[in-house]
Amino acid sequence: MNISIVGTGYVGLVTGTCFAELGVNVTCVDIDPLKINRLIYGALPLYEPNLGTMMNRNVEEGRLHFETDFAQGFSDVDYVFCTIDTEPDEDGSTNLAPIMNIAKTFGQRIFHYCTFVLKSTVPVGTATKVRQVIEDEIAQRGVDVDFDVVSNPDFLTEGNAIKDFMKPDRIVIGVETERGREAMQRLYRTILLHSNRYVIYTDTRTAEMIKYAATSMLATRVSFMNEIANLCEIVGADINVVRQGVGTDSRIGPKYIYPGCGYGGTLFPQDIKDLIKIGDSNNFDMQVLKAVDQVNVRQKRILFNKLKAHFGDSLKDKTIAMWGLSFKPETDDMREAPSIVTLDLLTEAGCDIRVYDPVAMNATKLRWGQVYCGIDMYDAVRGADALLLLTEWRQFRIPAWDRVKELMRNPLIIDGRNIYDAAELEAQGFTYHCIGR
């Protein structure tokens, strides 16, 4: 079985590597020659636990290849996975031109039955458009080749991506023909061998909608709890206990109800915006999602606002330390992270900024040249007037507080993920603020 994966980012690289691990012959194609070159030499362009080792093993064993040449990448394949990122157009709608170009190339290159699998998150109806483009190309060539277009949205979470691929909660397959369904069954059979995992077969439009609805539901839970947390602060309630009281209700469950300084990454913010846009273009006002987005925009400023509330209006020349830059632990992805908003606000306010993140500091050096990147988490707090915690990396969970206190100029901790114990910190002489208490 031969698979080509177009787009070698998070989703593409994880999907390609995992299929190779299952014995499939995989070629990953990307338009970024630098990325492909680095991959050929074994350098992972992103941080994802265990991915590098698995990738290099599969390269060595001859099942995983990297290409910039689509002609090579598409030769003699049974499946083409489209896993590229999509950019919004000027009007905010998703620019589908790159996906349609890949569909065209597919239509020009296939010589026998092949399945085109859309894994990128795309507006409802995209699979239908892709099918039309491929049909047109094949008709132009005057050949008779069969194909199917399948919507197979991705639900991976960065930092847990290999497990999410190998042991998914469910696999959603939107497909319009029995032949396409059988092709996907063949492909995923190995993953489903030893479990009762759900495979949801449906039409392509419903599959496309499932992806948006699932992401939006999670983002809604987060924004909802952040709003409740902010109200807890005002009325004197404790969000940590409220969260337990809410999450132990079996109808609700404990996941995605942790208050914090806002969600980030590409998924939540982008999918919410896309779905609002899909609503708008169908004259349907997505009121809940607009509020979810607005609450999140506000929440990303919360650490800065707490800092201002503590020091009064002027933060000029204050030294502020930050632990964590990535939008969540176990990834170097800073896209749409609360740290970006915080870094911008602190810079604007004239602060000296010192940061530490185990893997996400390179992007910071490029965009905020004046920011000091610590050698380790303790180096980052040297001389600081406040320490902000933005990402709950494991190594930040039980710091040597006596060392932190000794290094800081002023012992103020603002915990954007509610991971510390207020009583413990206050007993050690810190002033401690968190979210929703």
Ligand X SMILES: NC(=O)c1ccc[n+]([C@@H]2O[C@H](COP(=O)([O-])OP(=O)(O)OC[C@H]3O[C@@H](n4cnc5c(N)ncnc54)[C@H](O)[C@@H]3O)[C@@H](O)[C@H]2O)c1
Q: Where on the chain is the footprint of ligand X (CB under 6 A)?
A: 6-12, 29-32, 35, 83-86, 98, 102, 120-121, 154, 156, 158, 266-267, 270
Nearest to 329 by CA among 169, 177, 159, 167: 159
Query: Whose Cβ is closer to ligand X: residue 6's or residue 162's?
Result: 6
Query: Whose Cβ is closer to ligand X: residue 9's or residue 259's?
Result: 9
Residues 6+ apart with CB under 8 A from 107: 133, 134, 135, 136, 137, 138, 141
Query: Whose Cβ is closer to ligand X: residue 202's or residue 428's?
Result: 202
Q: How far is CA 116 from CA 68, 95, 138, 271, 295, in A?
A: 19, 19, 14, 22, 38
CA atoms in the 13 A half-sphere facing the CB of 218 = 15
Cβ of residue 273: shortest distance to ligand X, in angstroms?
11
Cβ of residue 195: shortest distance to ligand X, in angstroms?
21
Beta strands, E only, 358-435: 372-373, 386-389, 412-415, 431-433
Query: Whose Cβ is closer to ligand X: residue 85's or residue 344's?
Result: 85
Residue 39 falls in which region: left (phi positive, over 0), alpha (psi -120 to 50) or beta: alpha
Cβ of residue 89: shortest distance to ligand X, in angstroms?
15
Query: Whose Cβ is closer to ligand X: residue 267's or residue 292's?
Result: 267
User: Facing residues of 25 across strands?
Assistant: 2
Query: Whose Cβ is closer to ligand X: residue 97's or residue 400's?
Result: 97
Query: Whose Cβ is closer to ligand X: residue 273's or residue 310's?
Result: 273
Cβ of residue 336: shortest distance to ligand X, in angstroms?
11
Residues 6+ apart with CB under 8 A from 101: none
Cβ of residue 178: shortest distance to ligand X, in angstroms?
27
Cβ of residue 122: shortest distance to ligand X, in angstroms?
7
Query: Whose Cβ is closer to ligand X: residue 83's or residue 240's?
Result: 83
Cβ of residue 325: shortest distance to ligand X, in angstroms?
17
Cβ of residue 97: shortest distance to ligand X, in angstroms?
9
Please name the helix (run of DSSP H) or strand (run of DSSP E) that holds residue 280, with its range, or none: helix 267-281
Query: Whose Cβ is closer to ligand X: residue 9's or residue 338's?
Result: 9
Please name the helix (run of DSSP H) or strand (run of DSSP E) that holds residue 99, with its range, or none: helix 97-109
Cβ of residue 359: shortest distance to ligand X, in angstroms?
15
Look up residue 104 and give its amino acid.
Answer: K
> Distance between CA 132 and CA 107 in Å, rounded?
10
In the sheet that holds 25-29, the strands lie side by side as 64-67, 25-29, 2-6, 79-82, 114-118, 147-151, 170-174, 198-202
Query: Whose Cβ is closer to ligand X: residue 32's or residue 233's?
Result: 32
> Distance between CA 177 and CA 160 in Å, rounded?
32
> Distance between CA 98 and CA 87 in Å, rounded?
9
Question: Which residue of this chain has its Cβ atom nearest to ligand X in the complex?
Answer: 9
Cβ of residue 8: shortest distance to ligand X, in angstroms?
5
Cβ of residue 99: shortest distance to ligand X, in angstroms?
8
Three-state secondary-structure class, residue 412: strand
Look up residue 31 and give its amino acid.
Answer: I
Report angle CA 30, 10, 15 to the nearest 5 degrees. 80
Tokens of 316: 């000029």
Query: Whose Cβ is closer to ligand X: residue 11's or residue 325's?
Result: 11
